[in-house]
Chain A
Amino acid sequence: MSLGTWLEDRLKWRAADDFLRHKSVPINRHWYVYYFGGITLFLFIIQVVTGLLLLMYYRPTAEAAHESVRFIMAKVPFGWLVRSIHSWAANLMVFWVFAHMFGSFFVRAYRRPRELTWMSGALLLFLTVGFGFTGYLLPWNTLAYFATKVGTEIVGAVPGVGHFLLVLLRGGEDVTQATLSRFFGIHVAILPALMGIILALHLFLVQLHGMSRADERGPGRAYAFVPQFVLREAIVWVITIGVLAALAVLLPWPVGEKADPLAPAPAGIKPEWYFVFMFQTLKLIPSHVLGIEGERLGILGFTLAALVLLAVPMLDRGDQKTRARRIALMIGVFAVLYMAGMTIFGYLVP
């Protein structure tokens, strides 16, 4: 009995193989959008692998965290490579998860029956941003410390439950060892567990419903998922590895100065780039608008935007040329321009 037969008897893997061989990917003018999800998934896999390697040396205490990261960068063989790839891949993953989201939005991949695929994708975007926020603090350097302080203060401005959330996140009133412990736990256990479950659901739904087409009416041109699309995706992944390697070697991720809670916050401190559009918006909102505290209003606005993002399939359910489709398209274009504009503005102003 061959090994394949032996495995087939026990795992019935040929069914999965048959499924993949019959799976196809549409060929149309939006062909590039189909690669975004795969790049994001690949970057997530890199994050898992490099994160596990970093866990071997990282020590999540206020006294040792910074030193352990410095040790990884300076003493551990290829530690610099692993950590720099982890940091760069994290940033690229945030970029691609947004690109994947907007790409799927503009080709209206959220339409029936893919509503849950979209919603699980939106949740994965929130989790990715959560990974970035919690991971940023772990080196316990000055920038990370104060960015976390500002970030959790913003959470504290949520109407009603703000203070509760702030204490929950920080493990107290201030950013301390308790915060580091929590962020570490969230980053390496809670978020990966949630990510695993929702990602599995997302991928299952993608397989269940197949690749979305911009025009669902009638059969279109397509090529086989295996091997045509897989090979093309593999080229993209190889390029991604090359980009990551070049970034890690030419621009190794800095360790920074160890956080000093007693020192004043550095001038012009900013959060990670993917939070800058929110940070800049909150800075621009007047202190009070119609009697409501500006910061609270901003938080309320972003919370509503997140809910709208989740509810997109419910808001645009109609046919190709409905009014809802045009409004959704305009909102999408506005969101991209707003996020890009505010991010650039945030970096241009002191």
Chain B
Amino acid sequence: MRPFARWALLALVVGGLWVIGSQSIPAAPAAPPASPVTPAPQTAASDSCIDCHRNLGGRLAAPALRIADDIHVKRGFSCSACHGGDPKAPGIEAMDPKKGFVGKPKPAQLPGLCGSCHSNPEVMRKFNPKIPTDEVARFLTSVHGQKLARGDTRVATCISCHGVHPILAVSDSKSPVFPTNVPATCARCHADAQYMKPYGIATTQYADYRASIHADALLKRGSKQAPACNDCHGNHGAVPPGVSSVANVCAQCHSSQRDLFVRSPHKAAYQAMGLPQCTVCHSNHRIVQPSDAMVGATAPAVCIQCHTETSKGGTAAKTIRTALEDLKSSMASASEVVARAENAGMDMTDAKLPLSDAQTQLILARNLVHSLSLREVQTAATEGVGLSQRAADLGRAGLAEIDFRRRGLVFALAVLLVLALGLYLKVRSLSA
């Protein structure tokens, strides 16, 4: 075969595969190049796939340009591990189906292809013994997996989230599934109204999430402990949490609140009404910083969603809110007295300790709201008020001490003035 014909055939085959593939799922966007010139991986120095594709230009070259960053290539795998063929063969012979070349895998084939290694503990143990090997099994239980099994090739598969050419390690901050990148990765499909239209599901989740306290922690403050989509929905086995499992999902982090909720009257009521626990008051994706205003019998309290102002629930909500407000008011008053004494130069360390304890009681009382136990909330709040009063007493004692010192100063200065005057008169008399 003449060289021109050989290149033309190669371009036709690869290009055709690209065209077929482009009608299925949107793949995760490739990470930005690590450097303007991507060096060929050492392990694939003589890899004819990379050597040829790099010189093809355009989208045929794209898979080869940054392949050195791929976690698999870094671990010694070549293109043939996924695409078959013989990378040692020069030229188009490398893509000979007789040598196992399969070309670009179809979406439905991807879980099986990735799973051929990632579901095999024997294989994975050699590379990363800590990595789970049930991803594919869980994927098959997910909404994505189930739809894929039913022939829907638009749903997410492995590369939709993990990217491809290169597939980066999850711990790589450029990976689409690095914690801070997960919301944007999911949003590529789930915030696309056109793409999600056939499924009839909302596309506001991402915008809602970005307004949440969780997004604030994860995306603005960079706290990787804060939840992204996968922390509540699961990652490989992604499904919306069911009504009965919401509290368990939230309790992954907020276990104390869940324990209090479980023993509250709301637990049975919500169950009977088919309401999804935590999200009734806190919403789901747009979970904002909770405030005391959420409790009460008037707007903007969330209690009024179910309770009227004069109902038993409304009265209880008002009582709880009053206990919290009393404690806050007591703390504010004590803080003001302590600050005044401190600004006047008094050491208020002893007063700050009960104030700090009162703050702890406020946090405790706020948490106990989830139990809806009036007695427990009031007990915690009353203890906090007592601590605040103790701090305020110490602050007032400090102010009294300042008053005493200033009066003492006036007296001392008066005595000194008399003394100085006496001395001056004596000097005058001597001079005369």
- Choose from B409, B416, B426 the contact partner of A249 (Cβ within 8 Å): B409
Instruction: Confirm or deny: A326 has a beta carbon within 8 angstroms of a beta carbon on chain B.
Output: no
| Cβ B420 vs Cβ A235 within 8 A | yes
Interface string of B389-420 (1 = CB under 8 A from A): 00000000000000001101100110011011
Which residue of B is nearest A254, CB measured?
B345
Main secondary structure on B side of the interface with A: helix
Instruction: Confirm or deny: B171 has a beta carbon within 8 angstroms of a beta carbon on chain A.
Output: no
A149 to B349, CA, bound (A): 27
Instruction: Confirm or deny: B347 has a beta carbon within 8 angstroms of a beta carbon on chain A.
Output: yes
| Cβ B416 vs Cβ A238 within 8 A | yes
Instruction: Confirm or deny: A227 has a beta carbon within 8 angstroms of a beta carbon on chain B.
Output: yes
Which residue of B is nearest A238, CB measured?
B420
Greatest chain B CB density within 10 A among A74, A232, A239 is at A74
Inter-chain contacts of A245 with B (CB < 8 A): 409, 412-413, 416
A303 to B68, CA, bound (A): 61
Instruction: Confirm or deny: B172 has a beta carbon within 8 angstroms of a beta carbon on chain A.
Output: no
Which residue of A is nearest B420, CB measured?
A238
- Choose from A73, A231, A249, A254 the contact partner of B408 (Cβ within 8 Å): A249
Inter-chain contacts of B430 with A (CB < 8 A): 227-228, 231
| Cβ B419 vs Cβ A238 within 8 A | yes
| Cβ B413 vs Cβ A238 within 8 A | no
| Cβ A241 vs Cβ B423 within 8 A | no
Inter-chain contacts of B417 with A (CB < 8 A): 242
Give residues of chain B (311-358) contacting chain A, Cβ–Cβ below 8 Å: 345-347, 349-350
| Cβ A70 vs Cβ B349 within 8 A | yes
- Contact status of A74 and B420, CB under 8 A, knowing A227-B430, A246-B409, A249-B409: no
| Cβ B427 vs Cβ A235 within 8 A | yes
Inter-chain contacts of A249 with B (CB < 8 A): 405-406, 408-409
- Contact status of A235 and B423, CB under 8 A, knowing A73-B347, A241-B416: yes
Greatest chain B CB density within 10 A among A227, A239, A242 is at A242
Instruction: Confirm or deny: B431 has a beta carbon within 8 angstroms of a beta carbon on chain A.
Output: yes
| Cβ A231 vs Cβ B426 within 8 A | yes
A228 to B431, CA, bound (A): 8
Instruction: Confirm or deny: B424 has a beta carbon within 8 angstroms of a beta carbon on chain A.
Output: yes
Which residue of A is nearest B398, CB measured?
A74
B-side interface residues, number (CB < 8 Å): 21
A252 to B349, CA, bound (A): 15
| Cβ A235 vs Cβ B412 within 8 A | no
* Distance from B361 Cβ to chain A, minimum over Cβ atoms (Å): 25
A251 to B431, CA, bound (A): 38
| Cβ A242 vs Cβ B347 within 8 A | no
A322 to B120, CA, bound (A): 101
- Contact status of A255 and B347, CB under 8 A, knowing A239-B420, A245-B413: yes
* Distance from A78 Cβ to chain B, minimum over Cβ atoms (Å): 10
Interface string of A196-240 (1 = CB under 8 A from B): 000000000000000000000000000000011001101100110
| Cβ A232 vs Cβ B345 within 8 A | no
A81 to B347, CA, bound (A): 13
| Cβ B345 vs Cβ A252 within 8 A | yes
* Distance from B395 Cβ to chain A, minimum over Cβ atoms (Å): 13
- Contact status of A231 and B409, CB under 8 A, knowing A252-B345, A254-B345: no
A74 to B347, CA, bound (A): 6
Interface string of A248-259 (1 = CB under 8 A from B): 011110110000
* Distance from A295 Cβ to chain B, minimum over Cβ atoms (Å): 37
* Distance from A89 Cβ to chain B, minimum over Cβ atoms (Å): 15
- Contact status of A74 and B406, CB under 8 A, knowing A238-B416, A242-B412: no
| Cβ B349 vs Cβ A232 within 8 A | no
Inter-chain contacts of A235 with B (CB < 8 A): 420, 423-424, 427
A271 to B123, CA, bound (A): 63
- Contact status of A232 and B409, CB under 8 A, knowing A238-B416, A251-B345: no
Inter-chain contacts of B426 with A (CB < 8 A): 227, 231
Which residue of A is nearest B416, CB measured?
A242
A335 to B412, CA, bound (A): 38
A136 to B349, CA, bound (A): 22
- Contact status of A234 and B423, CB under 8 A, knowing A228-B430, A242-B413, A242-B416: yes
* Distance from B431 Cβ to chain A, minimum over Cβ atoms (Å): 7
Greatest chain B CB density within 10 A among A74, A232, A249, A254 is at A249
Can you show 19 pairs from A to B with CB atoms below 8 A apart? A70-B349, A73-B347, A74-B349, A81-B405, A227-B426, A227-B430, A228-B430, A231-B427, A235-B420, A238-B416, A238-B419, A238-B423, A239-B420, A246-B409, A249-B405, A249-B406, A250-B345, A252-B345, A252-B346
Q: In the complex, given contacts A238-B420, A239-B420, A242-B416, what are 17 additional A-B residue pairs having Cβ atoms less than 8 angstroms apart? A: A70-B349, A73-B347, A74-B347, A74-B349, A74-B350, A228-B431, A234-B423, A235-B424, A235-B427, A238-B416, A242-B412, A245-B409, A249-B409, A250-B345, A250-B409, A252-B346, A254-B345
Closest 4 CB pairs of A and B: A252-B345, A249-B409, A74-B347, A242-B416
